[in-house]
Amino acid sequence: MNETDEGRAARRRFQAQYRALYDEVLEILFQTDPIGIHRDNTEKFVPEAISILARLRDARVAEDVEQIVQQELRRWYGSRRLARRDPEQLARATIAICTAWNHFLDLSGSLMPSHLRLH
């Protein structure tokens, strides 16, 4: 396998891993339903999952992920709806997303900078 083939293979692995992360975050949002509105359709969480994933690279610690999740849910649903939610639901979603993100970083290995791992 030459360098070009190796690069393409690495990109395909990364894309598959990122797709798995996307699917996992979507399922986390559906299962935890941190705002209590999409109980019947996973696809309704697609915009939220995408906006959360787009910002995870900025997270350095679990609190950053929690803030990202809160900000994105507030952006999509407003402060009033978010304020009425059970904080434990949000915490479960945040912990699960942190776990999924760290797993993704582990699988991605050298393709992702090591400083992105949550501490």
Give 84's DSSP letter.
T
Q: How far apart are CA 30 and CA 24, in angstroms?
A: 10
Residue type, 41: N
pTM, two decimals, is: 0.79
Domain boundaries, the chain: 3-111
pLDDT of residue 52: 95
Contact 43, 30 (CB under 8 A): no
pLDDT of residue 2: 72
Tokens 């975050």: give the residue. 25
Q: Which residue ranges in the chain fall short of pLDDT 50?
A: 113-115
pLDDT of residue 1: 63
pLDDT tens, position by position, 70-98: 899 899 888 887 777 778 888 899 999 99
